[in-house]
Every structure is written in C-alpha cells, then in structure tokens.
Amino acid sequence: MTNNVQTSAIMSAGMRVLRETLGLIEAEIFITTIKQDCFDYTEWRRDNLFENMNLEQLVHEAAEFERLHPETIPPNATII
C-alpha cells in the first residue's frame, strides 16, 4: 500500500469515526477548531490524554480496548 493510499484510508476512517461519534455538524466544528487553533495533538496528548495514569494502567486500558474493539486493529499490525 502506498503512502497516499494509506493516508487516504486513515483519513476516511477518521472522518467516519468522527461522523458516527459526534455527528456531521459537530465533526465539522471539531475539524475547524483544530485547524484554526493550530492544535498540537502531541502536546495535548502529553498534557491531557493520559494524565494521572501510570504505565500499568495505560497497558491495561490498551489491552481492554483491543479486546473490546478488535476491528480497530489494522490487519498488518504486530501485536506484542
């Protein structure tokens, strides 16, 4: 799979998840806000997403998510 095809597939999947989770209008608002605010996902993730979570908790949460949502794991992913 070329990078452009892979990127397109990821973007399509992301938009589908946003629409299904937030709805069309809210998904558009989310995207517009991120673009306007020069949103830095890496910084946000570091500061907010796993706040007050140690490594054991993070691993447990990831394993539980994988167990509940096996369809989200790409077919070529290496699971360790």
Domain assignments of the chain as residue spans, ordered by start: 1-39, 40-80
More confident site: 19 or 38: 19
| pTM, full prediction | 0.48
Q: At what angle do helices 3-22 and 24-36 cross, to 10 degrees?
A: 120
Cα dihedral across residues 20, 23, 27, 30: positive or negative:
negative
CA distance 36 to 50: 24
**pLDDT at site 80:** 60
Identify whether the C-beta of residue 18 lies closer than 8 Å to the C-beta of residue 31: yes
**pLDDT at site 42:** 82
Q: Confidence band (pLDDT; 50, 70, 90) for 1?
A: very low
Nearest to 67, CA basis, from 76, 79, 56, 54: 79
What count of other Cβ atoms lies within 10 Å of the Cβ of residue 22?
14
CA distance 23 to 16: 10
The pLDDT tens digits of the residues spanning 20-58 come to 999 999 999 989 988 887 888 888 877 887 778 888 988
**pLDDT at site 19:** 93
